[in-house]
A and B are shown apart, each in its own frame.
Chain A
Amino acid sequence: MEKGSGRLALLLAILAVPILSAQGQNPTESPSEPEAMPILKKMSEYLAQAGRFSVVVRQGFDVAQESGQKIEFGEVRKLTLSRPDHLRIEFEKSNGEKGLVIFDGKEITVYQANENIYASTAKPGTLDEAIKYAVGNLKIRFPLAIMLLSTFPSELESRVVSADYVEKTTITDVPCDHLAGRTAQGVDFQVWVAQGDQPVPRRIVITYMGETGQPQFWADLSDWNFAPDVSDALFAFTPPNGAERIQFLAEVRNVATKAASKNKKGGQK
């Protein structure tokens, strides 16, 4: 009997190996998920429901080089958001480039100080629409874009396939709940949410699991202010002297594509 059960155990252990290995590669619900999900929800709803806020985001990201070596670049961004349709982002990259991204409810404008250039395109509508247009159509690099949407909770909910409560941590500037999640899009993320009555993200780490070298993006978020100055002047862009207006590459290409397809239909070359 003892011998038989030993064999059975061996057989089951062998059978279990591929199953368990396969499970390791797919997100699974954890016992801490019921604890983690409400915190994610609370955090995202808190930001989505805020009428205005400003925050300083110090961020970095890996860029896998051709050699396989990963190099980190970074930048500091100060975001000021006023719903429903105003946003200002001041940024300074690790190489010293400085610039602005501004949405005033009518136009999306980007300004690059070192080159003294700006690009601007009409996009009347809400901030949500402008952000999605800037990222999806204009292909502007816009880290943590979904965090600024009024639909942040549903955006997050639709992506997350599992979430874990990792630990409560006190080594951050304020005590935080450390959560880890996985998305259906092949992106893993971790977020440190401040405990207390202001459940804002204090740190975010995103890992692109399907990309070469599994590069990471990280961001430390500080100086949260939910009553910043949001006067119109903050969201107005006046081109500095000598600033050259250029176009978004995506717009040039879209025009080219449309014209080309028109030519094709007309039988022209």
Chain B
Amino acid sequence: MRSLLRMTAVLRILVFTLFLAIQVDASGPRGGGGRGGGGGRAGLSSGGGGRGGFSREGPASGGGFSSARGQSGAKSRNFESQRGGAQQNRSGQLNRQGAPNQQTRSGNQQNRQSTLSQSQQSRSGNQQNRQNSISQNQQSRSSNQQNLQNTSGQNQQNRQNAASQNQQSRQNTSSQNQQNRQNAVSQNQQNRQDYANQNWDGYRPYGYYGPGYGYPVAAAAAIGVTGYAVGAATASQSATVVPVLPCTPTLVRVGDQNYYQCDGNWYAKVYSGSSVSYVAVKPP
């Protein structure tokens, strides 16, 4: 029995470690993406003021209540948000473990009171209750040594409470889980619809992950009503946007439009994010 328990423990730890490893792994490419785009970001978003070469803009500069990460096709974010919703449903009846545990640590007399109040609270709980009951029992056992008379009865009561709570919790959890799964499915569908709407203020400076990110990829050689012919020579290239021109430009005025000529390339000034950038255009 003991060796079986040990094996189970080892297995659990392995599974848990693997779970952590997968999580780290999953976040890796995303973080890498951020850094990978950093080159573009630092170059593109200095906003004319980055004297030390510092990037001046990032996701937090937008001050939105959304993250543009979701808009960028990170579907896992969406899924997590659904899990968040389902989790909330399930946890509606959960007890919070933190505060009661701290209480039980501090003093025998308080233990008895908090144990009682925990018992009341934990009737409505599920898995977390089991953990609470265990810690209550442990605490109560330690109380025995100092408060034999009181705690003896208390322990018995606790064990009974714990047993009945556990049974109740298991039943609750089972039906709750079933409900959650159903909720989660319908919530998933709803979430996918809502997500785009809710995420409208997620900010991503232009070029954060390289040109074109966060914007429709603009094919070049398109002459707009704006008067600018955006982009380079071939249709496969996306428009180039830079925060600072690579040279001191020659200003050329054509009609009511200003063009900036730099090393044989032509640019137009545009407003992006909260500063001025230059977009490559065809020669006027």
- The chain A residues found within 8 Å of chain B, CB to CB, are 5, 7, 9-21, 23, 26-31, 59, 61-66, 68, 71, 73, 91, 93, 95-97, 99, 110, 112, 115, 117, 119, 132, 135-136, 139-146, 155-156, 158-159, 161-162, 182-187, 189, 206, 208-213, 215-217, 219, 244, 246-261, 263-264, 269
Contacts and interface: CB of A to CB of B under 8 A. Distances in A.
Contacts of A21: 16, 19
Interface string B242-284: 0000000000000000100000000011111111110100000
B49 A249 contact: no
Given A217-B60, A253-B239, A259-B223, A26 B66 contact: no
Contact of A16 (B8, B127, B219): B127
Contacts of B19: 18, 21
Q: Which 6 A-B pairs have the closest CB atoms?
A: A143-B63, A255-B224, A212-B34, A260-B219, A259-B222, A66-B38
A258 B83 CA distance: 38
Interface in B1-19: 1-2, 5, 8-9, 12-13, 15-16, 19
Contact of B273 (A141, A145, A156): A141
Contacts of B69: 186, 208, 210-211
B231 A256 contact: yes
Contact of A93 (B39, B49, B80, B258): B49
Interface string B53-96: 01111111111111101100010010011111101100110101
Interface stretch (B105-113, B145-153, B177-185, B195-203): B195-203
Interface string B14-37: 011001000000000011011100
A159 B200 CA distance: 12
Given A7-B5, A11-B8, A249-B277, A28 B235 contact: no
Q: Is the interface of B mostly helix, strand, loop or mixed?
A: mixed
Contacts of B2: 7
Contacts of B35: 66, 68, 212
B1 A141 contact: no
12 contacts: A13-B131, A26-B87, A65-B55, A66-B35, A112-B275, A139-B214, A142-B201, A145-B63, A184-B85, A206-B60, A252-B279, A256-B231
A249 B63 contact: no
B62 to A, nearest CB: 6
Given A27-B88, A184-B84, A247-B268, A63 B276 contact: no
Given A63-B60, A93-B49, A145-B64, A31 B216 contact: no
B143 interface: no
A63 B224 contact: no
Contact of B87 (A23, A59, A258): A23
Contacts of A132: 200
Q: Which of A16, A139, A215 has the most CB of B within 10 A?
A: A139
Nearest to A132: B200
A15 B12 contact: yes
